[in-house]
Amino acid sequence: MLETQKEFMITVSCIILLILTTIFLFNRSILVLAARNIIKNKRRTFILLCVIVSGLAGLMLFFGFADDSLHGLREATISSGLGHIQVYQKGYRAAAMPDKINFNIPNYREIVGIFESDAELKKYVKGMAADLDMSGLIAGHGKSTVFVGKGVDTQNFKVMNAGDEITEGKPLEHTDVFVKPEQKELTNEFEEMFEGFPVPGQDGAEKKDAPKDDKPKQEIWKDSTIEKRAANAEAAMDDALLGDGLKNALNAKLGDALTLVVSTKSGALNALDINVRGVILGVETSYNDTIVKIPMQYAWKLMGREDVSKICILLHKTEFLDLAYRRVQELVKEKNLNLETSTWVEEARMYQKVSSLLHDIFGSISFIIVLVVTFSIANAMMMSVMERTREIGTLRALGNTKNEILRLFMTEGFVIGLMGGVLSMVVGIAISIFMNDVVGGIPMAPPPGTSKAFIAHFRVVNNPLIWCITFNLAVFAAFISSILPAKKASNMEIVESIRYV
């Protein structure tokens, strides 16, 4: 079941539960008597409401905080090039890491064309781009380390990668006009490093993985130099963005030439120089420590192939995910495409971990708060039962049944819960507005595994799910806690209780 469907189901079931409880309890004279007793015991009611409100408004704020953190993480993850929906060649996701390359999409332009021309999908889609995954070694300034690279579509780069903060330099820009590349020999340093490894096009190297290029293979190996844009030289084919951590690890600076070394499909090594155009800072530390993004054409040249790992689809709003995803799946089926699809949630492991952690914490805190609220209300109601022993006896003598006495006290619990639920929502919303708009949020250090400090806000105001949860927890806690005292009240001996002093 998708996330929005789950939320909808929770909301609807809570409302149904509330309506059923109201119907079960509703009896005018019982309601009047319950309400009068609640009003009569003002101090006790006030204390009970304080207990409920302090617990549940706090819970509401925590939920709002967690939701805001998750929302931020979600949007940052989606807009770091991942998109909302990913489309792969069938078998890609199940394949082991080294074998994934065998499941790249060769006809991606045709597939993108199908998606782009669909009128329904068009309503939801903000941008679409293919990328090519790769990994290998990056070297420069006498240092080398591993990198996880992406060949990216420069045309849609800014749209698809808006979540990557450019901390230095400029983002990748689209260019399709190149000057004639100048030749550059492999540096001595790298010749020494890869001495003995097969070089594409040379004897012993696998030839079938070589790029579909008219140039001789030896030429491509050496054609690792900058291809500058003709007119203003603003964008170049070998421009690259480095993760912030990776830049620090290599002591790289803007404009530095670094070398990427990768293994091609056949296992042969290939290397190309890149020019550091900018430094990016994503959410995850591991991402920042390894990421290199280069234009797709250059990635093809490096990898010796012209296909892509996946097609990423970015939507105008994450709320469109269910509809858009369903349409993508329909298109894949209708056109009989050999593709598989996934949503961002399945790909975002960091998000999954953080989400799971926050949900566990939220669950535990909710449980404790509900327990405290339940016991507090139960204690107060038990006192109320003792104080009203004679009233209970009188009502029983007048002809009220045990069940009616039970309902009377459960109605009191329910009414206190309703009042507590409404007040908790009002107080929670008021505090969240104050914290967000007046205080401006709470500055937070980067959570474990992430690299960005952030300002925490409380997503409470436009969050009906949390209103629903808070309100229902208040009613639930008050209602549950009233069962035992109500049971005690209904089972009192009439003859003893009518003469209780």
Partner 1 sequence: MPQDSSNYVVELKDVTKKYQLGKTEVHALRGVSLAIAKGEFTTLVGESGSGKTTTLDIIGGLGKPSTGKLFIDGEDITVYNDKRLAYFRRKNIGFIFQTFNLIEVYTAYENIAHSLQLLKMPEKEIKKQVYDIMEKIGLGKFINHRPNELSGGQRQRVAIARALVKNPKIIIADEPTANLDSETGANILKLMQQLNKDLGATFIVATHSAQVVQVAKRVFKLRDGALIDSYTNK
Site for partner 1 in 136-175 (CB under 8 A): none
220 contacts 213 by C-beta, under 8 angstroms = yes
Beta strands in 175-268 (DSSP E): 239-243, 257-263
205 contacts 269 by C-beta, under 8 angstroms = no
Task: Classify residue 325 by its DSSP letter.
Answer: H
Q: Considering beta carbons, is residue 209 or 391 the nearer one to partner 1?
A: 391
* Cβ-proximal residues to 452 (8 Å cutoff; 6+ apart), any chain: 76, 165, 281, 283, 446
Selected from 403, 438, 443, 448, the binder of partner 1 by CB under 8 A is 403
Q: Considering beta carbons, is residue 104 or 497 the nearer one to partner 1?
A: 497
Selected from 350, 395, 478, 489, the binder of partner 1 by CB under 8 A is 395
Selected from 229, 247, 327, 396, the binder of partner 1 by CB under 8 A is 396
Asked if 398 touches partner 1 (CB under 8 A), the answer is yes
Tokens for 94, please give them: 């199940």
Q: Considering beta carbons, is residue 158 or 487 the nearer one to partner 1?
A: 487
Q: Considering beta carbons, is residue 238 or 412 the nearer one to partner 1?
A: 412
Tokens for 327, please give them: 């349409």
Q: Considering beta carbons, is residue 164 or 391 the nearer one to partner 1?
A: 391
Task: Assign 3-class secondary structure to 395-449.
Answer: HHHHCCCHHHHHHHHHHHHHHHHHHHHHHHHHHHHHHHHHHHHHHCCEEECCCCC
Site for partner 1 in 78-107 (CB under 8 A): none
CA distance 2 to 322: 7
Q: Give one word for 175, left, alpha or beta, with left for phi > 0 and alpha for psi -120 to 50.
A: beta
Q: How many CB atoms lie within 10 A of CB 446?
A: 12
Selected from 204, 399, 443, 448, the binder of partner 1 by CB under 8 A is 399
Site for partner 1 in 20-49 (CB under 8 A): 29, 32-33, 36-37, 39-40
CA distance 378 to 358: 29
Asked if 413 touches partner 1 (CB under 8 A), the answer is no
Binding segment toward partner 1, per CB under 8 A, in 284-292, 389-397, 407-415, 442-450 = 389-397
CB of 377 to partner 1, least distance (A): 20
Tokens for 385, please give them: 């039962």
Selected from 20, 191, 402, 426, the binder of partner 1 by CB under 8 A is 402
Q: Considering beta carbons, is residue 227 or 391 the nearer one to partner 1?
A: 391
Binding segment toward partner 1, per CB under 8 A, in 69-77, 82-90, 392-400, 451-459 = 392-400
Q: What angle do CA 134, 137, 141 make, to 5 degrees?
A: 140
CB of 501 to partner 1, least distance (A): 8
H or E element, residue 22: helix 3-25
Q: Considering beta carbons, is residue 370 or 408 the nearer one to partner 1?
A: 408
Q: Considering beta carbons, is residue 18 or 395 the nearer one to partner 1?
A: 395
What's at 317, amino acid-wise?
K
Asked if 386 touches partner 1 (CB under 8 A), the answer is no
Asked if 498 touches partner 1 (CB under 8 A), the answer is yes
Q: Considering beta carbons, is residue 371 or 397 the nearer one to partner 1?
A: 397
CB of 5 to partner 1, least distance (A): 44
Q: Considering beta carbons, is residue 44 or 93 the nearer one to partner 1?
A: 44
CB of 468 to partner 1, least distance (A): 32
Tokens for 429, please give them: 């919303």
Q: Which residue has the tokens 């309400």?
A: 35
Q: Give one word for 500, left, alpha or beta, with left for phi > 0 and alpha for psi -120 to 50.
A: beta
What's at 223, amino acid-wise?
D
Selected from 266, 286, 342, 394, the binder of partner 1 by CB under 8 A is 394
Binding segment toward partner 1, per CB under 8 A, in 318-326, 390-398, 444-452, 471-479 = 390-398
CB of 29 to partner 1, least distance (A): 5
Selected from 151, 163, 393, 417, the binder of partner 1 by CB under 8 A is 393
Asked if 494 touches partner 1 (CB under 8 A), the answer is yes
SS3 (DSSP) at 94: coil
| Among 389, 328, 382, CA closest to 116 | 328
CB of 386 to partner 1, least distance (A): 15
129 contacts 160 by C-beta, under 8 angstroms = yes
CB of 455 to partner 1, least distance (A): 50
CA distance 456 to 484: 41
Q: How many positions of this chain bind partner 1 (CB under 8 A)? A: 25
CB of 495 to partner 1, least distance (A): 5
Q: Which residue has the tokens 């309890």?
A: 25
Q: Considering beta carbons, is residue 39 or 96 the nearer one to partner 1?
A: 39
Cβ-based burial of 180 (10 A; exposed 0-12, middle 13-18, buried ≥19): exposed
Instruction: By CB under 8 A, name the binding residues for partner 1.
Output: 29, 32-33, 36-37, 39-40, 390-391, 393-403, 493-495, 498-499
